[in-house]
Chains A and B, each alone.
Chain A
Amino acid sequence: MALSKNEGGARRWIDDVLGVATLIGMVVALWLIFIYTPMELVQGAVQKVFYIHLASIWNAYLGFLIVFVVSILYLWRPSARKDRIARAWAEVGVVFTTITLVSGSIWAKPIWGTYWTWDARLTSTLILWIIYVVYLMLRGFVGDPERGRRYAAIVGIIGFIDVPIVHMSVRWWRTLHPDPIVATSEAALPASMWYTVLYCIVVFTVLALFLVRQRVHIDELRETLVDLRTTSS
């Protein structure tokens, strides 16, 4: 590969390791989910959605927390690198929020009898998703790249602080309406299920890390391309 000189062999190596680890981890996760853990008697097979659902929302929150921290650091001392990291985590966070929403809806259909209900968690997760989709669109709307990065950092901070307040308000608002039947979901889980949940969280985090690195590479290459074009003309 001609490009290895600038991309650094070590970084490609880390990517390869992460990629393979993710793949193996995922296969093991599937084994744990479908064979190791017992079938839940009340909810039936669909309960197995729970593992990816929880692991996804964990990643989404992790991603948005990183966006928040990196955004503060960016405003303190701006650098293109910080912005790339924040943007990559936000994008991966949105992907995982999407998985959370979709898997949750599919789980809800047989259990609650409807794909969507304005339950507190669903509603606040939807708003979370919207806030970070807007965050991702922002740079494109602003035009000037430096200003776009700065504005994105502001939204990265305000958005994250807003999340618990939104959740609180939606939860209080929901108490005025009849709650959907959540009876079975919070029952005590057997140990094997907990191990599987924790394992899935770890594997999904590795997956997220892998995806974030790819996303960061893309932005780096884009900038290299711009540099090459401007210096060569």
Chain B
Amino acid sequence: MDTIQNFDFLFAAYTILWVIVFGYFFFLTRQLADLRREVNALREERGNDDGASPTGPNS
């Protein structure tokens, strides 16, 4: 029958699935990385004030 006919729709559906999932994932990772960098920078800045090193004796 016409099984081959709608392959392009199948392709489109999965492409969009990956675009949305990975798009959202990279959006989250980007934000996380930016925030981590900012928090680290601030900690370092403050760490110098109260003497605690950000790479302190933990874990």
Contact = CB atoms under 8 A, between A and B. Distances in A.
Do A and B touch, yes or no (CB under 8 Å, in the complex)?
yes
Contacts of A3: 36, 39-40, 43, 54
Contacts of B56: 5
B33 to A, nearest CB: 10
Nearest to A56: B17
A99 B17 contact: yes
A207 interface: yes
Interface string A209-233: 0010011011001101100110110
Interface of A: 2-5, 9, 39, 41-46, 48-49, 52, 95, 98-99, 102-103, 106-107, 109-110, 207, 211, 214-215, 217-218, 221-222, 224-225, 228-229, 231-232
Given A41-B1, A45-B9, A221-B35, 4 more contacts: A2-B43, A44-B5, A95-B20, A106-B9
Interface string B14-50: 1011001100110011011001101110111110010
Nearest to B58: A5
Contacts, number: 107
Contacts of A2: 40, 43-44, 54-55
Given A207-B21, A225-B38, A45 B4 contact: yes
Give the interface residue-count category, chain B: 35 or more
B30 to A, nearest CB: 10
B39 A44 contact: no
A232 B13 contact: no
Given A107-B13, A207-B21, A221-B35, A44 B28 contact: no
A231 B39 CA distance: 13
B20 A102 contact: yes
A103 B42 CA distance: 43
B6 A45 contact: yes
Given A2-B43, A98-B20, A52 B28 contact: no
3 cross-chain pairs, A with B, having the tightest CB-CB distances, nearest first: A221-B35, A5-B58, A110-B6
Contacts of A224: 39
